[in-house]
């Protein structure tokens, strides 16, 4: 098997479980050195062990992405261990659902800080070295909620739409340095989607909206990130790929 990410240094945030874990595992299988970044120490160690037990290269980096100091320290630890970062996957995420008339400032701010500020801090942490190298692949995990909205998740929709703006602006600013910036809007069976997948009030209705009429396994999402992080993605930038069974296709 060809290792399309051989010896690349990749940061994957939110890699403790779900989609991030699948991405980290796939990147390592493709030959990358992976910084497994997550706020949850136990999950961070678990993902790292899965990768290293399989013969891959990874380090566990516990980090709350909503703290600039923590992000800078995590980036420094990665560089010290593996060298300059050439792939960033900003994927860490949380939800705090509530109808807009009940949503608190705390719910709004937490979701904004993790998704938007966390991605921005990482973007600023990795781009100086990428600009110097005149190479780099940056991928943000957005959501269908950022494209078509979502009931009971106005905070999350705003944050994910914000990441689309970040993708496009960063793509424009970094294109002269040969750095590509893209986004993925996934839909997968992970702990984050457990309620809408299992609660009788939501599950049928949600599935009806997915033309493929099923949820993806996180592994089905990870391949898109391999493409966006790899050598074949040299001329695609500022785009969002929806890996969602057709849920958000133009109707």
Ligand X SMILES: NC(=O)c1ccc[n+]([C@@H]2O[C@H](COP(=O)([O-])OP(=O)(O)OC[C@H]3O[C@@H](n4cnc5c(N)ncnc54)[C@H](O)[C@@H]3O)[C@@H](O)[C@H]2O)c1
Residues that bind ligand X (CB under 6 A): 13-14, 16-20, 38-40, 43, 63-66, 91-94, 114, 141, 143, 186-188, 190-193
Residues 6+ apart with CB under 8 A from 25: 47, 50, 51, 54, 56, 222
Least distance CB 6 / ligand X (angstroms): 25
In terms of CB distance, is 2 or 201 closer to ligand X? 201
CA distance 38 to 204: 32
Place of tokens 């600009």: 131
Smallest distance, ligand X to C-beta of residue 184, A: 8
Length of the chain: 251
In three-state form (DSSP H/G/I as H, E/B as E, the rest C), the secondary structure along 125-179 is HHHHHHHHHCCEEEEEECCHHHHHCCCCEHHHHHHHHHHHHHHHHHHHHHHHHCE
Task: In whole angstroms, give the CA distance from residue 143 to residue 100.
Answer: 19
At closest approach, how far in Å is the CB of 211 from ligand X? 15
Active site residues: 156
Instruction: Please answer whether residues 100 and 154 qualify as being in contact, where contact means their C-beta atoms are separated by less than 8 angstroms.
Output: yes
Residue closer to ligand X (CB basis): 135 or 192:
192
Considering only CA atoms, which of 141, 146, 142, 138 is closest in space to residue 170? 138
By Cβ distance, which residue is nearest to ligand X?
A: 18
> 42: which 2 tokens?
């136990």
Pick 41 or 232: Cβ nearer ligand X: 41
> Rounded to the nearest whole angstrom, what is the least distance from the CB of residue 191 to ligand X in the complex?
4
């Amino acid at each position: 098997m060809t290792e399309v990410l051989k010896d690349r240094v990749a940061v994957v945030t939110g890699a403790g479980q779900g989609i991030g874990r699948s991405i980290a595992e796939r990147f390592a299988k493709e030959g990358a050195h992976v910084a497994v970044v997550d706020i949850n120490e136990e999950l961070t160690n678990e993902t790292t062990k899965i990768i290293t037990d399989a013969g891959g290269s990874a380090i566990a980096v516990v980090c709350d992405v909503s703290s600039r100091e923590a992000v800078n320290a995590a980036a420094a630890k990665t560089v010290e261990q593996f060298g300059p970062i050439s792939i960033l996957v900003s994927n860490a995420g949380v939800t705090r659902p509530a109808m807009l008339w009940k949503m608190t400032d705390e719910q709004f701010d937490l979701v904004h800080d993790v998704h938007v500020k966390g991605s921005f801090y990482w973007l600023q942490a990795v781009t100086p070295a990428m600009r110097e190298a005149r190479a780099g692949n940056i991928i943000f995990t957005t959501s269908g909620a950022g494209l078509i909205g979502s009931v009971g998740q106005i905070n999350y929709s705003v944050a994910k739409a914000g990441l689309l703006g970040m993708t496009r602006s960063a793509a424009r600013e970094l294109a002269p340095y040969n750095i590509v910036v893209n986004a993925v809007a996934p839909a997968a069976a992970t702990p984050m989607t457990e309620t809408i997948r299992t609660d009788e009030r939501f599950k049928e209705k949600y599935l009806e909206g997915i033309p493929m009429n099923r949820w993806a396994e996180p592994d089905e999402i990870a391949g898109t990130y391999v493409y966006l992080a790899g050598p074949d993605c040299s001329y695609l930038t500022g785009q969002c790929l929806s890996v969602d069974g057709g849920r958000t296709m133009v109707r």
